[in-house]
Amino acid sequence: MDPTDPVGPDEPLDAWAARRDERRAAHREITGNRRVVVLGEGARAAHVTPDAPRLLLEWDGTAWATVGVAQDAYQAREFLGHVPPPVAEVEVEASDRQPRLGKGTGRHRRT
C-alpha cells in the first residue's frame, strides 16, 4: 500500500480507480506522450551521439508503441516538438553595420 495514497476500507473501488486515473493522467502531462530511445551501444545522451538513430515511441493509452525511427538527434527533436521555428535571415546593408575602429590610439584604447 502506498502511504501517499491512503485508501480506506470503506472507499468504493470505482472512486479509487478514478483517483488513480487522474493521477496517472496528470503525471503523463508532465512526462509527455512521446519518447525517444537511442539505438546502439554506449552513451544515451543526445549530445554524445548526435548521429545515432533513435527509436520513436508514443503512448497509446496502455503502453509505449513504436512509431518509427529517426536518423539522428535533430529528427528526434522534431518528433518531440523541441525544434524552434526557423528564423528568417535578414540582409544587412553596409550603412546599417556598426563602424569598425580605425587606426590610431584613441582615448578609449589602452596604450
54-101 pLDDT, tens per residue? 999 998 878 889 999 999 988 998 888 887 766 666 665 656 666 666
CB distance 39 to 53 below 8 Å: yes
- For the chain, percent helix, then strand, then coil, each to nearest 5? 25, 15, 55
pLDDT digits (tens, 9 = 90+) for 6-62: 556 688 899 989 988 888 777 766 667 888 888 877 767 777 888 889 999 998 878
